[in-house]
Amino acid sequence: MNQITVTLPDGSSRSVPAGTPVRAIAEGISPNLARAALAAIVDGRLVDLTHPLQRDASVRIVTDKSPEALPLYRHSTAHLLAAAVTNLFPGTQCGIGPATDEGFFYDFIVERPFVPEDLEAIEKKMKELAQQDLVYERQMWPRDEAKAFFAKRGEPLKVQLIDEKTEGQKEVSCYTIKDKETFIDFCVGPHVPSTGKLKAFKLLNTSNAYWKGDARNAPMQRVYGTAFFSDKDLKAHLTQIEEAKKRDHRKLGRELGLFTFHQWAPGAAFWRDKGTTLYNTLANYMRDVLLPNGYVEVKTPIIYNKALWETSGHWSHYRQNMFQVQGSEGEEMALKAMNCPGHYLLYASDVHSYRELPIRFHEQTPLHRNELAGVLSGLTRVRQFSQDDGHCFVMPEQIGEEVERLLKLVQRVYDDLGMTYQPKLGTRPPEFLGEIDAWNRAEAQLKEALDRAGMAYQLNEGDGAFYGPKIDFDVTDAIGRKWQCATIQLDYAMPERFDLKYIGADNTEHRVVVIHRAIFGSFERFIAILIEHYAGAFPLWLAPVQAVVLPISDRHLAYGASVRDRLTAAGLRVELDERQEKIGFKIREAQLQKVPYMLVVGDREAADGTVSVRERVVGDLGGKTVDQFVADAKLRIDEKDTTSIKVEPIEQGGPESAVARR
């Protein structure tokens, strides 16, 4: 029999007969590896352990430590779900069951919608099937035979999938669990070798769905679940889901009076006064960060003739995502979905010398994207938003220095907000624009800048945009979720399209490089992240209301008003609670509104010219003169003190209050 050579990740190789399954390679390395094996990567392609090796190949065994493992594991669990559903509810039609970032789902056509008891029964059945350690078997069927088989079983959706996904193939892969009576599905694979590998999973909820997401198609039931390699990880994730529900920015946004929506303006927030204050505080903070660092703030038009979008390429590739409008002369126009093209026109409106570079534009005007109504969600997916957007126009040799400046700004902003972050460097993808040499020089400059900034980064080879390499940042919130926010992207393509140049020291024209950059990303989405990160209890410098003055009774109203006015004049954001309510009630309300300071005023305070200070987390701090309180609060604001937000927010009443008992 003909021998082939298998190369392992450590560079060693071994000779095996052609047709050897990859499982045998794992067994040949060690029994432990064979036990831990879930799948394999053969010449860069993820395959089942039963995959026969037909020619020389590089082989890496996938275990639960491999980055590829979790999606494979979750997708395999989706099949287990489908097996349980079809066993418990004969006649159910299966759709698709992919892994997601959070777990997996499977879509079904069922006679009646699932109820919570159904999910319990399905999960129980899944556990049974897992305990039986049933084999996932890949079978190659003649394409016509497979189509006839699924058609006869009353599964037209599978027939449609085979038609779409395997055009021109003679054979298609079907997977059974145990045997085709127990479960069979058309799937490209791969999967874990047997159901016994699936240890920690949980079904979460159901929702209505449509085949292919199109409401004209058959209605389906989508069952969501999640799966992890250990019970511990699963439990941690379920706790995170519970915690995330409590922090949901849509719920807190309503309770804290920050924003609302109306059906007549889908995906566009109505910012109430407190939300507007929060928004403006962040917008001005970003100006305070950027303007002293060489940026100029600009405002460019919202609506452009389609000629601009044709030049940028958006008209052919992105038109359906933009709101199109007609000018009075019938000209075709569109609302801007990003600021970049406007900034190019602004840059190109002057002749620039190398001495002026870098030129840095910052803009916060509104952008519009015509998102599908079905994907709109709170502030995280909207149609109208603004960015802390910016474009730096630099000479190629300035890239490294400019990126290092940018990294320092990113560092400063996330430190101020008390968030941790992880940079990811995306390098040249297989299809790219421009010269390889320019890419190599740019990537080297980005790496050096990251090193000089002392940032450990994740290298994502080939993950750059086609127009240039990039650095993206994931920030981690208080409950461990990751959000991609800041981005730094080099662009060689647009300066060509828009003929952006500068006059060099040699008195001739040269091409600039554009750096697209944002630190928050969209204000709307970033505010959603902050609301959930802080659970609505903003640090003092961000809180829409920083202190509330609480008169004990009506006769203290006048003194309370004078305190409010003095604090407001000192630049603090202060409210006066004038309601005829008991002081304990007012304190409780202020706690629920997550106001950092409650200032109680009664006879003693009015006589002494003081306030009784109560901090939301710490509790009573005793009496202070108004001036002393202003000085203390301003110090915390200047320092952007985030200490109190690290303490679990108090939901009811708060620490026992001496003031409240008065």
Of 389 and 605, which has the nearer Cβ to Zn ion? 389
* CA–CA gap between residue 589 and residue 598 (Å, rounded): 10
Would you count residue 340 as binding Zn ion (CB under 5 A)?
Answer: yes
Task: Convert 321-335 to b/e letters by CB count within 10 Å (16 or more is b).
Answer: ebeeeeeeeeeebbb
Amino acid at 625: T
Cβ at position 368, least distance to Zn ion in Å: 15
* CA–CA gap between residue 622 and residue 614 (Å, rounded): 7
Of 96 and 599, which has the nearer Cβ to Zn ion? 96
Whether 470 sits among the annotated catalytic residues: the reply is yes
Cβ at position 407, least distance to Zn ion in Å: 18
Residues whose CB is less than 8 angstroms from the CB of residue 397 and which lie 6 or more positions away in sequence, other chains included: none
Question: Which of 187, 340, 392, 485 is labelled catalytic?
Answer: 340
Pairing of strands 324-326, 295-297: unpaired
Contact stretch for Zn ion (CB under 5 A) within 157-165, 197-205, 308-316, 333-341: 333-341
* CA–CA gap between residue 386 and residue 364 (Å, rounded): 6
Q: Would you call 214 helix, strand, or coil by DSSP?
A: coil
Cβ at position 79, least distance to Zn ion in Å: 5
Of 517 and 614, which has the nearer Cβ to Zn ion? 517
Question: Which of 391, 517, 556, 594 is labelled catalytic?
Answer: 391
Contact stretch for Zn ion (CB under 5 A) within 146-154, 186-194, 259-267, 359-367: 186-194
Of 342 and 423, which has the nearer Cβ to Zn ion? 342
Cβ at position 122, least distance to Zn ion in Å: 18
Q: Are 53 and 22 in contact (CB under 8 A)?
A: yes
Question: Which of 470, 525, 556, 624 is labelled catalytic?
Answer: 470
Binding footprint of Zn ion, residue count (CB under 5 A): 3
Whether 516 sits among the annotated catalytic residues: the reply is yes
Alpha-carbon torsion angle 583, 589, 594, 597, nearest 10: -20
Question: Which of 93, 364, 384, 387 is labelled catalytic?
Answer: 387
Q: Which residue has the tokens 């066993």?
A: 87
Residues whose CB is less than 8 angstroms from the CB of residue 143 and which lie 6 or more positions away in sequence, other chains included: 162, 166, 169, 170, 171, 172
Contact stretch for Zn ion (CB under 5 A) within 179-187, 425-433, 459-467, 584-592: 179-187
Of 187 and 583, which has the nearer Cβ to Zn ion? 187
Cβ at position 191, least distance to Zn ion in Å: 6
Residues whose CB is less than 8 angstroms from the CB of residue 186 and which lie 6 or more positions away in sequence, other chains included: 146, 150, 158, 161, 162, 172, 173, 174
Q: Which of residues 432-491 bind Zn ion (CB under 5 A)?
A: none
When binding is defined by CB under 5 A, the residue of 516, 564, 586, 624 that contacts Zn ion is 516
Q: Which residue has the tokens 């399209």?
A: 497
Would you count residue 47 as binding Zn ion (CB under 5 A)?
Answer: no
Of 300 and 644, which has the nearer Cβ to Zn ion? 300
Amino acid at 414: Y
Amino acid at 436: I
Would you count residue 187 as binding Zn ion (CB under 5 A)?
Answer: yes
Contact stretch for Zn ion (CB under 5 A) within 345-353, 455-463, 509-517, 558-566: 509-517
Task: Convert 567-579 to b/e letters by CB count within 10 Å (16 or more is b).
Answer: beeeebbbbbbee
For residue 402, which of 415, 414, 391 has the smallest C-alpha distance? 391
Please give the C-alpha separations between residue 138 and each of 178, 192, 570, in angstroms, as whole numbers.
11, 11, 73
Of 340 and 626, which has the nearer Cβ to Zn ion? 340
Would you count residue 613 as binding Zn ion (CB under 5 A)?
Answer: no
Contact stretch for Zn ion (CB under 5 A) within 134-142, 340-348, 355-363, 449-457: 340-348
Contact stretch for Zn ion (CB under 5 A) within 12-20, 147-155, 181-189, 654-662: 181-189
Of 340 and 617, which has the nearer Cβ to Zn ion? 340
Cβ at position 61, least distance to Zn ion in Å: 20
* CA–CA gap between residue 406 and residue 402 (Å, rounded): 6
Cβ at position 304, least distance to Zn ion in Å: 15
Instruction: List the alpha helices (DSSP H) in 224-272.
Output: 231-247, 249-255
Cβ at position 655, least distance to Zn ion in Å: 48
Cβ at position 250, least distance to Zn ion in Å: 29
Of 23 and 74, which has the nearer Cβ to Zn ion? 74
Question: Which of 516, 533, 564, 614 is labelled catalytic?
Answer: 516
Q: Are 502 and 238 in contact (CB under 8 A)?
A: no
Of 183 and 261, which has the nearer Cβ to Zn ion? 183
Q: Which residue has the tokens 């019970």?
A: 231
Q: Would you call 34 helix, strand, or coil by DSSP?
A: helix
* CA–CA gap between residue 335 and residue 341 (Å, rounded): 12
DSSP assignment string, 455-522: ---EEETT-SBTTB-EEEEEEE-TTS-EEEEEEEEEESHHHHHTT-EEE-TTSSEEE-EEEEEEEEEE
* CA–CA gap between residue 525 and residue 379 (Å, rounded): 5
Cβ at position 537, least distance to Zn ion in Å: 34
Whether 391 sits among the annotated catalytic residues: the reply is yes
Contact stretch for Zn ion (CB under 5 A) within 7-15, 185-193, 286-294, 565-573: 185-193
Residues in contact with Zn ion by the rule CB under 5 A: 187, 340, 516
Residues annotated as catalytic (active site), given as ranges:
340, 369, 387, 389, 391, 470, 516
